[in-house]
Copies of this chain bind each other. A is one copy, B any other.
Amino acid sequence: MITIKDVAKMAGVASSTVSCVLNGKDNVSELTRQKVLDAASKLKYVKHGAASELKRKNTQTIGVIVHDMSSPYFSELVKGIESVIMHHGYDMIVCNSLGGEHSTASRYIREKRIDGAIVIAQNIQNKLLLEAAESGFPIVVMDRELNNDHIVNVLIDDEQGGYVATRYLLDKGHRTIAYINGTFSSDCNLLRYQGYLRALHEAGVEERKEWRLSGHFTKEGGYQAAKFLIENELPSAVFFASDEMAISGLEAFREHHISVPEQVSVVGFDNIHLSHYVYPPLTTFRQPKTDAGQLAGHVLIQMLKGETVESSYILNNQCVERHSVRFKTSV
């Protein structure tokens, strides 16, 4: 392995001088600089990352912790993060939190192999985050509410999302609106449900327990929920807590010859790519993921620089109007 010493020897200078040159310090004469650079390139010198880190105490890289890389949710977010991180001269790596305590993600956080983290991974324990953040390691959390001096939240407001989705349906004249849950235990599902409730109450509409069904955020779940509705009583509209569920709900309706939106209106949530292509094109609610990613990146960089930031940032969802909802004139 070629080290800084080899370069120094070849250039006829001290290793410290080489270090200065390579790190762009200005206290080196142009002549020496050239000698060093020549030697380095001749020897194909590359610095050893770990050694430099050990000394410097930072890695110039930030970690994005995700729990499922293949989710489309993640990929949009990451695009936003990436653009600002790179722009500020930091590197970015993404780590999987699969395996919890023993995951790559935990290790990278614990062992300070990164300078800061952006986490979107429910299966990472608060405890780990809290402990890591204590020691001046900034973290931006995007999948839960969690605060301390070194942790800030960048969230998309699911309660607001549930509210506007329901409100949208209400404004179109619907009064019997079913809500198809995602996973019960997930925060975002719960919040959307609360938004749903708030909109209902505000409009003076009673919630009907039998119209709160579970769809587990899966295709199968969405299908079953729709089928249940069909076999019992059909509401005038149904709000699926995710597009994926909504799309298979649509399938169930079609199979049972119930036309959307004529007989039942449907809205989804997420605005996944597919929702544009199904029949009828699905009206849904878009989360500003790229924006959220960019914001998260910015905030983390600011924290890294020691600037003060808010402890929480909340973004709103936007309606993407397509053709799965009809205006219901009162009978």
Interface, chain A (partner B; CB < 8 A):
1, 44, 46-51, 53-54, 59, 61, 69-70, 72, 75-76, 78-79, 82, 86, 91-96, 98-99, 104, 107-108, 110-113, 131, 135, 273-274, 277-278
Contacts and interface: CB of A to CB of B under 8 A. Distances in A.
The binding surface of chain A is classed by DSSP as: mixed
A110 B54 CA distance: 17
Q: How many copies altogether?
A: 2
Most B CB atoms within 10 A — which of A48, A69, A76, A82? A69
Contacts of A72: 70
A99 B86 contact: yes
A131 to B, nearest CB: 7
A26 to B, nearest CB: 21
A107 B91 CA distance: 9
B54 A50 contact: yes
B49 A113 contact: yes
B86 A98 contact: yes
A54 to B, nearest CB: 4
Question: What 6 A-B pairs have minimum CB-CB distances, sorted nearest first?
Answer: A70-B75, A49-B111, A50-B53, A91-B104, A50-B54, A49-B113
A177 B274 CA distance: 29
B93 A93 contact: yes
Contacts of A110: 46
Contact of A93 (B59, B82, B94, B111): B94
